[in-house]
Amino acid sequence: MASNYSDLRGKTALITGCNRGIGKDVLTKFASQGVNIVACVRTASNEFSAYLNTLCENYDVNIEIVFVDLANPESITSAMREIFQKKIQIDILINNAGVAFGGLFSMTSMAKLREVFEINFFSQVQITQYVVKWMRKRGCGVIINMASIAGIDGMEGFTAYGSSKAAMVYLTKMLSKELAMSGIRVNAVAPGLINTELVKQLDNKAVNKMVGQSSLGRLGTPDEIAELVVFLSSDSSRFIDGQIIRIDGGM
């Protein structure tokens, strides 16, 4: 779908985990709308760097790679310092990166729970604290958190992942209230099952069952999630705040 959001042109979006999967499609769609990007990634292959160069040439945008390991708070601090020192102003923050872990409650160790929360929740909070400070000074901004239907529905076998996403859901609603007066909107996207590497890590039988029971009967595509993220970042969604928007093919 080729929506056009002219108000986004010239803005800058920070996206975590955009070297592949949903984040890469979000990055691509933003670039196609003339949005400059700070690509916060843990890894960047030569192929990915070449891809970014093509986007820059095709859409006349700037894309800056900033390396960060979300499992390491010090790495986040130095990444955010780098962005600050380069005087990059962030208009849009997309807290996208995440890891999946399927495991029943009784089989989820505390170490695994902490590991998943570190990446899916604490790291995003840390980044958001930096970015909010900058956005507040300018009195505007948009934040979009990548939640999941696992953080809304109680799904068996998703103790760590679902709880970390539920925390993102709460953070979104709470932040929208705290930040509205500063001109910052906060929403979350809650995808169902989307065709990326993340889904391939899940139990195939369980995935097929869930997809089979959904009304549209198929996996979603990263492009479909990116379309929603870009809409929520634009002025077209200016009256939407504090919402957790399911995009799940009717699960």
Ligand X SMILES: NC(=O)c1ccc[n+]([C@@H]2O[C@H](COP(=O)([O-])OP(=O)(O)OC[C@H]3O[C@@H](n4cnc5c(N)ncnc54)[C@H](OP(=O)(O)O)[C@@H]3O)[C@@H](O)[C@H]2O)c1
- Write the interaction track for ligand X spanning residues 155-174; mark x where CB under 6 A is met and - where it is not: --------------------
Q: Does 194 bind ligand X (CB under 6 A)?
A: yes
Binds ligand X (CB under 6 A): choice among 8, 12, 15, 21: 21
CB of 247 to ligand X, least distance (A): 9
Burial of 238 (0-12, 13-18, 19+ CB in 10 A): exposed
156: DSSP letter: T
Question: Which residues, listed in sequence order, are joined to residue 158 by a DSSP beta bridge?
Answer: 103
The two structure tokens encoding residue 72: 């390491």
Q: Which of 191, 194, 189 is nearest to 233 (CA)?
A: 189
Binds ligand X (CB under 6 A): choice among 56, 59, 66, 69: 69
- Residue 55, number of CB atoms within 10 A of its CB: 17
Q: Does 232 bind ligand X (CB under 6 A)?
A: no
Sign of the CA dihedral with 104 first, then 69, 142, and 22 last: negative
Considering only residues 89 through 118, tell me which ones interact with ligand X, judged by CB under 6 A.
Answer: 96-99
Q: Which stretch binds ligand X (CB under 6 A): 105-113, 178-186, 190-198, 237-245?
A: 190-198
Q: Which residues bind ligand X (CB under 6 A)?
A: 17, 19-23, 42-43, 68-71, 96-99, 119, 146, 148, 191, 193-194, 196-199
